[in-house]
Amino acid sequence: MKNDRLIFVAYDIKDDKIRTKVSRRLVYYGLVRVQFSLFRGYIPTKDKTILEEELRELVDESKDKIHIIELCKVCKDKIRTIGDVPPPTPQHLIV
């Protein structure tokens, strides 16, 4: 966990199918949905690079936008959350 980085991934993707593929990919890497288009979690630096490449292949960069925000320890310690509303749950969960 020493080399794991806290990242936030936010996106604005128009196509439902692509948006679903992106969110599933983020969950695959262990990120947790914070809001509808915002995920966060810890990820090894090596996996972050691979994830970024995979996301780049999924989206149309002329129409869609994905922000990958990595936080250092100092910034991570400054995160404040107000409220404890659970993240939205998908309508259909396939296990």
At residue 75, the pLDDT reads: 85
Give the mean pLDDT of 50-65.
95
- pTM for the full predicted model: 0.81
Give the mean pLDDT of 33-58.
94
Domain range list for the chain? 4-76
Binding residues: 12
Q: How many other C-beta atoms can be found within 10 angstroms of the C-beta atom of residue 28?
A: 10
Buried-state track 68-93, b at ≥16 Cβ within 10 A, e below 16: eeeeeeeeeeeeeeeeeeeeeeeeee
At residue 55, the pLDDT reads: 97
Binding residues for Mg(2+): 12
Q: Is the pLDDT of residue 13 over 60?
A: yes
**Tell me: domain 4-76, CATH 3.40.718.10, correct?**
no
Instruction: Render pLDDT for 63-92 as a digit per residue (tens, 0 to 9).
Output: 999 999 999 888 888 888 888 766 655 555
Give the mean pLDDT of 27-49.
93
